Homo-oligomer: A and B are copies of this chain.
Amino acid sequence: MTKKNELPFGSIIGILGGGQLGRMLSLSASQLGFKTHIYDPDINAPAKQVTNLSSTFEYDDFKNLENFANKVDVITYEFENIPLETIKFCQNLKSVYPNYKSLGICQDRITEKNFLKSIGVETVKFEMASSYEEIKIAIENIGLPVVIKTSRFGYDGKGQKVIYKKEEIEKIVSEFIDVQVVIEKFIEFELEISVIICRDMSGKISAYDPSENIHKNGILVESKVPANISFSTSSDAIILASKIVRNLNYIGVMGIEFFITKEKKILVNEMAPRVHNSGHWTQTGCIISQFEQHIRAITGTPIGDGRRHSNVLMKNILGNQIFDINYENEKSINIYGKDKVKNNRKMGHVNIIK
């Protein structure tokens, strides 16, 4: 079967990573008539429950990656900590979206901040450091309080700490030995928002309404739309997000977190080259969710306009909260099919229409 100018129906989308994001990408791909093949070293990866095609091998098992790439029509991934080498290898065999360059930039906070600086997008004041001495100098230059973050492999608040007082420096820094770190000014932002944005193969860009996000212990707890921001803050954030994806020649969905300072300055906090937890509300608030939008973009199917028809509050279901779900009306409940409940593990989410 063929569709005009696009991957035909029944084409196979290879997804590296089979967590909840891979699972929801797979469900949306199915809705559009595509097949999916999930590649994940974990045999119990949640996404493997929703497709009959999967591979259970390590990400650096190049022989099996080759088999995988040969069996699929296009490749995408669900998380930014996938080895760059894996993507490099795959892209020699099949198209991979988002591109290698974007992944490389998002994997490293320093590269990310330098990229943003280079295109004139403002971030929190930062310095990099890779030894105790350098860290001390960086803290002095920036001034307490600061956030110390590993440059690579951070997620859900892991790999970062706030240093408020001089006395804490030594103890906290000792946890960051022998790794490249970034020292950021700790700012008391007014609120945190994120923009879920998508760019397709023709260069068309479509963004969703910014959501307002609440984190606890570094983990997203709630996102709501509309965010409590002015129209101009909203459109400025979307303009910055477009600038980012355009400059990366990016294809697919990207999630970008911003801080809004008390002075209404918009600073980029983080970029994620993938569908994003703070965009889960789109499943209930829009005709075309972020998951469907991503699948459309990477298959050459025209993307939608991201229009929102309802106000939504998204709440994550963390750890044991899964046993206390209230199935009352006007809630859309999404459970990820994880095999074990762990403290603070993302087990599902609910979208509540407001």
Tell me the A residues contacting B by CB distance below 8 Å.
1-4, 9-10, 23, 27, 30-33, 35, 48-52, 54, 284, 287-288, 296, 301-302, 304-305, 307, 309-310, 322-323, 325, 327-337, 339, 341, 348, 351, 353
Give, as a whole number of angstroms, the nearest-CB distance from A333 to chain B: 6
State whether B335 touches A32 (Cβ < 8 A): yes
State whether B49 touches A333 (Cβ < 8 A): no
Can you report 25 A-B residue pairs in the complex whose CB atoms are below 8 A from each other?
A1-B323, A4-B323, A9-B322, A27-B27, A27-B31, A30-B49, A30-B50, A31-B335, A33-B335, A33-B348, A35-B337, A48-B52, A50-B51, A51-B51, A51-B52, A52-B54, A284-B287, A287-B353, A302-B327, A304-B327, A305-B329, A307-B329, A309-B309, A309-B310, A309-B353
State whether A9 touches B335 (Cβ < 8 A): yes
Q: Which of A54, A304, A341 has the most CB of B within 10 A?
A: A304
Copies of this subunit: 2
When distances are taken between beta carbons in the complex, the residues of chain B under 8 Å from A50 are 27, 30, 50-52
Give, as a whole number of angstroms, the nearest-CB distance from A204 to chain B: 12
State whether A287 touches B331 (Cβ < 8 A): yes
State whether A35 touches B49 (Cβ < 8 A): yes
List 8 A-B pairs, minimum CB-CB distance, nearest first.
A33-B335, A302-B327, A305-B329, A30-B50, A287-B332, A33-B337, A35-B49, A31-B334
User: CA of A256 to CA of B328 in the docked complex: distance in angstroms?
Assistant: 26
- Selected from B309, B323, B329, B330, the residue in CB contact (under 8 A) with A2 is B323
Q: Which of A31, A52, A301, A341 has the most CB of B within 10 A?
A: A31
